[in-house]
Amino acid sequence: MLDLNRRYRDGLLLDVLGVLETDESETAPEASTAERWWKIVQLSAFISWKEICEAERPVLRRMNVAQFEQNQRRLATALEEKRVLEVALIRELWHERQASRRKGDFNGILVTRGPNSKRLRQVVELGQAVGLFDFRPCWLTNPNTASQIFPLMEQSFDLVIFDEASQCPIEQAVPAIYRAKRLVVAGDEKQLPPTAFFQSGFSFGDEPADESEEETTANVDLEQQLAAARQQQALAVTDLLEASKPLLRQCLLNIHYRSEHPTLISFSNHAFYSGRLQMPPSVHRKVLNAPLLLIEVNGV
């Protein structure tokens, strides 16, 4: 192939090919020759990428290692200061919103005991109009309770976080997701999924499609087909975590903090988590004896 295209090569490329061909003609091992080919191609790609970046950002030509490390430290300091200011700003905003509300507005609403007591759903509905969510912006509840006490209003919460999402069936999660502007799904796919052993269900997959439905399906465009495929994929899984994996950006938490000794998590770490789990040194620094012992008893 190189011989056929040689007449189209010139300049630096022709020189590089000449060096590589000379190297191949020597008695070097085949693996060593292939490795040198790869290193030259890789270096050429890096040099080309460097030239493109410098052409798009001329400031990079004046940057050296010392300046880069200094800018990196300045950026880290600025980000830390930004985090501190963000916390203070959020606190001030909420204090301002709460100061505009009067505690007297809640008279007769926050009554959960006695003859005039109200259900929690009634408290939420009546209190929402006078600023209940300003005084209590964070709520901790399970999906079923959230569906019962909060009005079904789209994007009524800034953020909804699902913890232990591998234990949450999709049908229970949908109403809470409808109420969210943003969504965080946290869970461990290595845990057992929720069981439907004690639940009754109905399968929609065995119903035959009539000819009119088949004609309609044949005429839908690609975007609708992709949407239908995503819907089928969501219906095929049992828990929220599995349904969220192809749709949400993933972030892995690699620090294991529950076990006080590395051997307690060692087997699971290598068998299920590809050995990526790490333990903070402070957790097991003072632990001297292994908590697990293997005693061979030669039993049956």
Query: What would the pLDDT profile of 37-53 be if each residue is shown by its tens digit?
Result: 788 788 888 888 888 88
Domain membership of residue 202 (yes or no) is no
**Same-domain status, 53 and 22:** yes
**Same-domain status, 15 and 27:** yes
Place of tokens 């709460």: 98
Given this model, what pLDDT does residue 290 score? 60
Given this model, what pLDDT does residue 122 score? 84
**Same-domain status, 168 and 76:** no
Domain membership of residue 164 (yes or no) is yes
The total number of structural domains that make up the chain: 5
**Same-domain status, 22 and 92:** no
- Other C-beta atoms closer than 10 Å to the C-beta of 184 total 14
Domain membership of residue 215 (yes or no) is no
**Same-domain status, 247 and 257:** no
**Same-domain status, 47 and 28:** yes
Domain membership of residue 86 (yes or no) is yes
Given this model, what pLDDT does residue 160 score? 96
Domain membership of residue 300 (yes or no) is no
Residues 183-209: pLDDT tens digits? 999 999 887 766 655 555 545 444 555
Domain membership of residue 68 (yes or no) is yes
**Same-domain status, 85 and 72:** yes
Place of tokens 């916390």: 87
**Same-domain status, 180 and 245:** yes
**Same-domain status, 174 and 241:** yes
Residues 143-185: pLDDT tens digits? 999 999 998 889 989 999 999 998 898 889 999 999 999 999 9
* Ramachandran angles phi, psi of 236, nearest 5°: -80, -20
Tell me the mean pLDDT in the region 21-36.
Answer: 60
Domain membership of residue 90 (yes or no) is yes
Given this model, what pLDDT does residue 202 score? 47
**Same-domain status, 14 and 48:** yes
Following DSSP, what letter does each residue of 26-95 receive, concatenated?
Answer: SS--HHHHHHHHHHHHHHHHHHHHHHHHHHH-GGGGG--HHHHHHHHHHHHHHHHHHHHHHHHHHHHHHH
Given this model, what pLDDT does residue 204 score? 47
Give the structural domain span for 180.
Answer: 138-197+226-251
Q: Where are the beta strands (DSSP E) in the chain?
A: 157-162, 180-185
Residues 107-142: pLDDT tens digits? 777 777 777 777 888 888 888 888 888 888 899 999
**Same-domain status, 55 and 74:** no
Domain membership of residue 23 (yes or no) is yes
**Same-domain status, 74 and 123:** no
Sequence-distant contacts of 98-105: CB under 8 A, at least 24 apart: 98/131, 98/134, 98/135, 100/131, 100/134, 101/130, 101/131, 101/134, 101/135, 105/130, 105/131
Percent of the chain with pLDDT over 70: 73
